[in-house]
Amino acid sequence: MAKALEFLAAWKSRLVAAFLMVAVGAVLGGVLAWWLQGNRYERQLSECGRELAELHAEQARQVAEAVNAARLEEQRRTAAQTEIANAAIQQAEAARVDARAADTARRELLARATALANASRGPGDPATVGGGAPAATPVDLLADVLGRADARAGELAAALDASHGAGRTCERSYDALTP
């Protein structure tokens, strides 16, 4: 039995050494596995961060494009509205010039009709004493009716020009705002 104890004593130190080697190997293997896993996670995290940065850059580019497109559309609409307003002002001014020319022609026509009416009367009877108001001659009546009709036609034409211009301006303005 003594030999068996000697044998165990000799192997005991070898078994402890082997156990320590296995334990140290296991610890080193665990540390190596932990380090490799950490490197893999760092690579994945870095890749996710890069993808996220690319996504943010793409979104920022898309937002910038959308803002620029909206800005260009706003500028186009503003320019169209300005052009339409200027055209409406020019049309209104042209209508006013035409109305003044028509009014001048109306006054000249009325003056000629009045002159014709006065010329057709002839000198009155000097022996007649003025009594009541003289009856209107057909020429006087025609001149009066013509003057009134022309004045009313001028008013209607001015109103029609104004409403037509406003309607056309509204249509063009709507068309300019519609993409």
- CA dihedral sign, ordered 117, 122, 125, 129: positive
Token pair belonging to 174: 């709507």
Would you state the pLDDT for residue 135?
58
17-66, pLDDT tens digit by residue?
A: 888 899 999 999 999 999 999 899 999 999 999 999 999 999 999 999 99
For residue 153, tell me if it sits in a domain.
yes
In a domain, 103, yes or no: yes
Within a domain: residue 30? no
Question: Does 84 have pLDDT greater than 80?
Answer: yes
Q: How far is CA 52 from the centre of its chain?
A: 34
Locate 171 and state its tokens.
């249509």
Residue at 83 is within a domain: yes
Number of domains into which the chain is organized: 1
| Residue 78 belongs to some domain of the structure | yes
Domain of 97 in residue numbering reads as: 53-117+136-179
The per-residue pLDDT for range 136-177, each reduced to its tens digit, is 677 777 777 887 888 888 888 888 888 988 898 888 888 888
